Homo-oligomer: A and B are copies of this chain.
């Protein structure tokens, strides 16, 4: 059996040092909001296949903060940030990979209701230079993005989300 996996659309903004990610889901905006704010759900889908994620702390509210560690041993990677605002239709947060602690991105997530139980996620990451932005685009980030969203699809299909 072959599976056709939906690919996210990942684009460089033309004017500002921002990455746009668009991905449609067979889920409601409320389900996608839960997937991005409930730490137990988030840990089950984020990142590349086989990486796993351990939540170190997670407080999804205006002014809260978060940190998780992915992988294990010498291949582990930690990510952290703060939640600037958490609302059902829009989340704004900061993002740092601790391997480059001075690089901080400002991320927004919006959930557009497409009707019929479908929702379009639009995620943006604003970097402080085009070089930093292009570094992320060249990093192989699409693997983690697409694997993660496929795992999120499966949580929806199984009724766990």
- Residues of A bordering B, CB below 8 Å: 15-18, 57, 62-67, 80-85, 90, 92, 94, 96, 101-102, 104, 106, 108, 124, 126, 128-130
Pull 13 A–B residue pairs with CB atoms less than 8 Å apart, ordered by A. Answer: A16-B16, A16-B129, A18-B128, A63-B66, A63-B80, A63-B82, A64-B82, A65-B82, A82-B94, A90-B102, A94-B94, A106-B128, A124-B128
A126, chain B: closest CB distance, angstroms? 6
The answer to whether A83 and B85 have CB atoms under 8 Å apart is no
> Of the candidates B15, B17, B96, B124, which one forms a contact with A84 in the assembled complex, judged by CB atoms under 8 Å apart?
B96
Q: A16-B130, A65-B63 are in contact. Are A85 and B104 (CB under 8 A)?
A: yes
